[in-house]
Chains A and B, each alone.
Chain A
Amino acid sequence: MLSIFELIVASDIVGSVVLLSISFFSLKAMRGTGVNMFLFFFLGFALLAAGRLSHSLVFITLALTRPAKIIVAATSLTASFVALISEVLAYLLIAIGYSRHARHDIGELGTSSIAVVAGRQIFIQAVGEVLNFFLLIYIVFQALAVYLSGKKRGSLMILLGFTLFLASHLTRFISLLELSERLFIASKFVYFAGMVFFLAMVVEVAVSR
């Protein structure tokens, strides 16, 4: 039976693969069409994947090597901070990508309990979450506009994916305010649910002929 920690690490790694595949299709779309909006999506999704993957790898390394608690605390704080910055930048790039195209008319693993109780870290995380929240609101509205303009299944999946990301960040922000580990874990699963919609979209594109 897998522990919550292992489930979160596994979901983060699977999620990174999904994000990398979206990044790959964005690169293909950019090279095929020359539309530079896809360059921003390519960079944004790649950064999102890199942040999550590196964060997961740091936690796996810590779990396997079992260093002193102070090293675990320092490393997990740094890893969480780096992942948060990459996430903010990634959402910023995706938001810029959407804003550059007007055609449609119209976290990271297991911040440990030490990280959760570190006041300064909570403040930085909270600020990052607020930034992510507002960027995601913009992205969700753009995705909604795209969906309403064409009502295609692919754009619905993108909309649902980003909406669940938004819900995940909201849950994570509340978990930081209430210091609730349960809410934090719930936010990881909501994020993964969002990832499932992106995965469905990627599979649909990949198997189409």
Chain B
Amino acid sequence: MKARRSKLRILVDILKVIEEENGARITQILYGANLSYDRLVKYIEELLSKGLVDERKRGQSTVYYLTKKGREFLVEFRKIEKFAEAFGVKI
């Protein structure tokens, strides 16, 4: 059975997609983070309110970018992830 992702894991997966794409549209994030549209919108709103991502209009679509705070958050998360893995904890 597949383990359920924690909320933190989902938020990080979204941030990682945005980071890898160097700015991503909602459909790219949908596929990359494997989420339904409704849930993704909810999480994106949370990331925007926390200042971890930034949205910019590009033509008809909206593109999401990592803010400085978002990049720093990912760096910190990777450190914690590595530390936790050493003790057998998967975040």
Task: List, in ascending order, chain B residues with CB within 8 A of A209's CB.
Answer: 75, 78
B83 touches A205 (CB 8 A): yes
B87 touches A33 (CB 8 A): no
A103 touches B76 (CB 8 A): no
A155 touches B89 (CB 8 A): no
Task: List, in ascending order, chain B residues with CB within 8 A of A150's CB.
Answer: 85, 88
A145 touches B84 (CB 8 A): no
- What's the minimum C-beta distance from A186 to chain B, rounded to whole angstroms? 27
* Any B CB within 8 A of the CB of A35: yes
B8 touches A145 (CB 8 A): no
Contact residues, A147-182 vs B (CB, 8 A): 149-150, 152, 154-155, 157-158
Task: List, in ascending order, chain A residues with CB within 8 A of B75's CB.
Answer: 209
- Closest residue on chain A to residue B78 by CB atoms: A208
Q: Please, how many residues of chain A have a CB less than 8 angstroms from a CB on the other chain?
A: 31
- What's the minimum C-beta distance from B9 to chain A, rounded to whole angstroms? 9
A32 touches B80 (CB 8 A): yes
A103 touches B82 (CB 8 A): no
A155 touches B85 (CB 8 A): yes
Contact with B along A28-71 (1 / 0, CB 8 A): 11001111011001000000000000000000000000000000
* Any B CB within 8 A of the CB of A1: no
Question: Which of A25, A145, A150 has the most B CB atoms < 10 Å from its CB?
Answer: A25
B contact patch SS: helix
Task: List, in ascending order, chain B residues with CB within 8 A of A201's CB.
Answer: 83, 86
Q: Please, how many residues of chain B have a CB less than 8 angstroms from a CB on the other chain?
A: 18
Of the candidates B6, B78, B90, the one whose C-beta lies within 8 Å of that of A103 is: B90
What 4 pairs between A and B have smallest CB-CB spacing?
A: A154-B86, A146-B88, A104-B88, A32-B80
Contact residues, B16-54 vs A (CB, 8 A): none
Q: B-contacting residues of A (Cβ < 8 Å)?
A: 25-26, 28-29, 32-35, 37-38, 41, 98, 101, 103-104, 142, 145-146, 149-150, 152, 154-155, 157-158, 201, 204-206, 208-209
Task: List, in ascending order, chain A residues with CB within 8 A of B91's CB.
Answer: 32-33, 35
* Any A CB within 8 A of the CB of B79: yes
- Closest residue on chain B to residue A35 by CB atoms: B89
- Docked Cα-Cα span, A201 to B79, in Å, equals 11
Of the candidates A98, A101, A142, A154, the one whose C-beta lies within 8 Å of that of B83 is: A154
Question: Which of B80, B84, B87 has the most A CB atoms < 10 Å from its CB?
Answer: B87
- Docked Cα-Cα span, A146 to B56, in Å, equals 44
Task: List, in ascending order, chain B residues with CB within 8 A of A154's CB.
Answer: 82-83, 85-86
Of the candidates B6, B76, B82, B87, the one whose C-beta lies within 8 Å of that of A37 is: B87
